[in-house]
Amino acid sequence: MSVGKKKGEVPRRAFVNSVLVTAGAATAAGALAGYGLAEPAAGTEPAKEIVPFYGKHQAGIATRQQRNATFLAADLASRDVATLRRLLDELTLTAAALTRGDPPPERDSGVKGTSSLTDFGTGLPPARLTVTVGLGPAVFAIPELAARRPRHLTPLPIFDGDALNPWWCGGDVLIQICADDPQIVSHAVRSLRARMPGLATLRWTQYGFLSTPPDGGTPRNMFGHKDGTANPKPGTPAFDDIVWARSPEEPEWFAGGTYLVFRKIRMKTAEWDLTPLDEQDRVIGRRRSDGAPLGASAEFDPADLTARAPDGKLVIPADAHIRRASGMPMLRRGYTYDYGIVGGESHEHGEGTGEHGHGDGHKNHSRLDAGLLFCCYVRDPEKQFVETQRMLAEKDRLNDFIEHTGSAIVAVPPGAREGQSLAEGLLRGLG
């Protein structure tokens, strides 16, 4: 499977919207309009790094992945142009301010003297905060927007084996909030939510983290496997080709946008830990010890999908995950999550107790919720995600150990110019 590069297409300018400024110069950062350095200068305090909100593309996509993320889904209070416009205005102003380290603009809540939490911020520098906003398929059910619908924005199908929880699915708006600090993420979520009353209602949130070895090694996932993917490199033609929407394939307003596919994938860690190591390796097709493909000697060796053992069996089994998933061109930007067994909302009672028992180890095992907040950015979700996911759903040894419990797809508008709101082009000329 590949995303075709049209003949004669001119490689576009390398573009990475990460730039480094000092905290003191924070308020001027927006003016840099998204052109700058891909990596921080040595010796700069990472917490003070700023990723400009305004630019050709939205931030949080080509941005070097931050350590913490929350995905927030919300539904429009009313599916009409005016509500959507007001919501996008609020989200834009709030995100632009927070990402440069400023408090969000005041909003009249209608309650005398009300002053939102964000007035005084967190006392923390913005830690590369990005806010990335996408619009779900239902938004384009608004009559005036039907003709402007991004061409590939279709609700995801139900795949074999999906165990979706409707509480963790869909949404008219999906916002990815990332930073190198969890309180910055929490505060941004809170500030964005504070703009929603009357315009949108919160649907679900999911929180994850990503810890990268300081030596630059590949992070391990919740199954202990190195989960480093051959992501395209920002600023290269391959990246542009895989990620960014273009016209005339897409409506003019959507050029420079992309699609975000979100899947909450629960990983059955207890079952995994009771599976012998050599079987684990066959499930993935790589050795857990060093990440090498089976039959190869090092992590970055190519996987030989045709190699057979002396007994004639395929070294990398026919249903191994890396065989079934191979060749999927996408920008992956997922986060590990581990909620432990924080649940229990449905078991409230009137009186507390310090000691009486609810302990049932097996029940609690099944209440563990940990895994992957899969997140990918692609130019064509049908070709780049759905086709591969159908193959995986049909046959993948890993399916015994995972389940997809949440799902969403949104069209991510291009970046905004300073003074404009996100998706300005979508709403241009409408009431």
- Rule CB under 8 A: which of 390-419 touch its own copies? 404, 407-409
Q: How far is the CB of 3 from its own copies (least distance, A)?
A: 23
The structure tokens 């207890």 sit at 270
- Cα–Cα distance measured from residue 106 to residue 84, given in angstroms and rounded to the nearest whole number: 20
Binding mask 325-354 for its own copies (x = CB under 8 A): -----------x-xxxxxxxxxxxx-xxxx
Binding residue for its own copies, selected from 38, 81, 124, 393, defined by CB under 8 A: 124
Give whichever of 181 and 250 is closer to its own copies, judged by the CB atom.
181
Q: Is 106 in the site for its own copies (CB under 8 A)?
A: no
Give whichever of 124 and 255 is closer to its own copies, judged by the CB atom.
124
- Cα–Cα distance measured from residue 54 to residue 74, given in angstroms and rounded to the nearest whole number: 23
Q: How far is the CB of 162 from its own copies (least distance, A)?
A: 5
Q: Exposed, middle or buried, 290 (CB in 10 Å: 0-12/13-18/19+)?
A: exposed
Q: Is 100 in the site for its own copies (CB under 8 A)?
A: no
- Cα–Cα distance measured from residue 49 to residue 280, given in angstroms and rounded to the nearest whole number: 40
The gap between the terminal CA atoms of the chain, to the nearest Å, is 42
The type of residue at 319 is: D
Q: Is 146 in the site for its own copies (CB under 8 A)?
A: no
Q: How far is the CB of 425 from its own copies (least distance, A)?
A: 24
Segment contacting its own copies by CB under 8 A, of 166-174, 246-254, 316-324, 411-419: 166-174
CB 399 within 8 A of CB 161: yes
Q: Is 292 in the site for its own copies (CB under 8 A)?
A: no
CB 416 within 8 A of CB 424: yes
Q: How far is the CB of 332 from its own copies (least distance, A)?
A: 17
Q: How far is the CB of 240 from its own copies (least distance, A)?
A: 28
- Rule CB under 8 A: which of 30-69 touch its own copies? 45, 47-48, 67-68
Q: Is 377 in the site for its own copies (CB under 8 A)?
A: no
- Rule CB under 8 A: which of 262-281 touch its own copies? 269, 272-280
Q: How far is the CB of 313 from its own copies (least distance, A)?
A: 18
Segment contacting its own copies by CB under 8 A, of 73-81, 143-151, 314-322, 326-334: 73-81
Segment contacting its own copies by CB under 8 A, of 83-91, 159-167, 302-310, 324-332: 159-167
Give whichever of 113 and 429 is closer to its own copies, judged by the CB atom.
113
Q: Is 26 in the site for its own copies (CB under 8 A)?
A: no
Q: Exposed, middle or buried, 68 (CB in 10 Å: 0-12/13-18/19+)?
A: buried
- Rule CB under 8 A: which of 219-258 touch its own copies? 219-220, 222-224, 226
CB 293 within 8 A of CB 316: yes
CB 86 within 8 A of CB 203: no
- Cα–Cα distance measured from residue 48 to residue 26, given in angstroms and rounded to the nearest whole number: 9
Give whichever of 17 and 407 is closer to its own copies, judged by the CB atom.
407
Sequence-ordered list of residues with C-beta below 8 angstroms from that of 87, at least 6 positions apart, any chain: 76, 173, 195, 196, 199, 200
Q: Alpha carbon of 398 to those of 82, 160, 295: distances in Å? A: 45, 13, 19
Give whichever of 85 and 404 is closer to its own copies, judged by the CB atom.
404
Pick from 76, 78, 90, 186: nearest CA to 135: 76
What's the token pair of residue 90? 């609020």
Give whichever of 54 and 272 is closer to its own copies, judged by the CB atom.
272
What's the token pair of residue 8? 């004669």
